[in-house]
Amino acid sequence: MVACGTSWHAGLVAEYMFEELCRIPVEVEYASEFRYRNPVIHEGDIILAISQSGETADTLVAMESAKEKKAFIFGVCNVVGSSISRLSHAGAYTHAGPEIGVASTKAFTSQVAALTALAVAAAAARGRIDREQEADFTRLLLEAPRLIAEATQTEDDIRALAPELARARDVLYLGRGAMFPLALEGALKLKEISYIHAEGYAAGELKHGPIALIDAETPVIVIAPSDPLFEKTISNMSEVAARGGKVILITDEAGARHAPEGARVIVGPSCDPFLAPLVYAPPIQLMAYYVAVQKGADVDQPRNLAKSVTVE
C-alpha cells in the first residue's frame, strides 16, 4: 500500500485487516519514500494506492514506478476520473462526496470502510473465510453508520475538554493494534488544525522513550475500546497516571469501568473490534476540531497546508 498523510494511516488500519483475514503479508509505505528506496516488487504483486483527491503527486509517481515493474495497481480514491483512477488497473471509489476542509475527515473514514470491505472480499475469494463468515462481516459493516452516529454523541464531552487541551504545548496519543493508526491520525489532526505539537505512539512503546515526556502539563489521549488488547493498555495508562500525567481515555462503557483514578473518560459505543477503527475515528476528529475552535484557528483552511499535494 502506498499513500501519504491521512491516507497512509488508513492503509495502516487496512494492514491489520488484510493480514488477519487474508493472511497476506502487507507493507504500508509512504509514497514519498517508496520510489527512492528501490523496493522489491515482483510481477503480479498488488500495489494499493490510496488518495482522497486522486492527484497526490508522490502517490502517482510511486504507482508509475510500480507499474514499470509489472505490478498490478488498485486505486482507492474519492474523485471520479482523477489521475490515480486513470492510472490504476482496477480500483474503488470511496464516494465520500466533496471534502472542502483541508484536514481529511470523512475521506479517512470512507477509505477505511472501502479497504475493510476489500479485505473481506479478498479473504472470501482466497477461501480464508466461508460464506457464513463473509455474511457476518458484511452485517457488521452495515452496522457502522449507526455506530458512527452514536460515536458523534461524545461531542458535548469533547467540547468540555477543549479549553484544557487548548492550553497544552504537547499532547501524546496512545493506541494498540488498529487503534495505533488512530493514535497517529488523532495526533496529525491536532497538529494540522490547532497547531499543537502532538505525537501518536503504539502504547507498548511508551517505556521505550516517550514516557520521559510525561508530566502534569502533557495530556495523554488513550484510544482503547474494550478488546483483547485492552488489559495491556490499562497498564500503560496506570504508568502515565503514576507519573502525574493527565489521562484522557476514549473507550466504551466496559472500558470506562477500568479507567485509572483521575482520568477523564469519553465514552463511545460498544462495538465489535472489527469496526472499532471506523467507530472511534469521529471522536478524535471532534477533539481536534473543538481545540482548534477554542484557539480561534481556521479549521477548514489551516496555515501552510493545501487540500491536495500536487508537487513532490
Q: Which residues of 122-153 are buried (b: 16+ CB within 10 A; e: fewer)?
A: bbbeeebbeeeebeebeebbeebeebbeebee
CATH of domain 153-295: 3.40.50.10490
Domain boundaries, the chain: 2-129, 153-295
Strand partners, 73: 47
Residue 291's pLDDT is what? 97
Q: What are phi and psi of 252, to 5 degrees?
A: -110, -175
Residue 228's pLDDT is what? 85
The model carries a pTM of: 0.93
**DSSP result, 15-38:** HHHHHHHH------EEHHHHTTS-
Domain 2-129 identical in fold to domain 153-295:
yes
- HSE, CB side, 13 Å, CA atoms: give it for residue 120: 19
Give the cell for residue 180.
Answer: 495505533
Nearest Cα to Cα of residue 203 among 182, 81, 296: 182
- Name the CATH code of domain 2-129 (choices 3.40.50.10490, 3.30.450.20, 3.30.43.10, 1.10.3470.10): 3.40.50.10490
Residue 308's pLDDT is what? 62
Going from the C-alpha of 154 to that of each of 103, 227, 285, 287, the distances in angstroms are 20, 20, 11, 10
Task: List the chain residues with pLDDT less than 50.
Answer: none
Summarize pLDDT for 265-307 with one digit per residue, the tens: 999 999 999 999 999 999 999 999 999 999 999 998 888 776 6
In contact, 252 and 269? CB cutoff 8 Å: yes
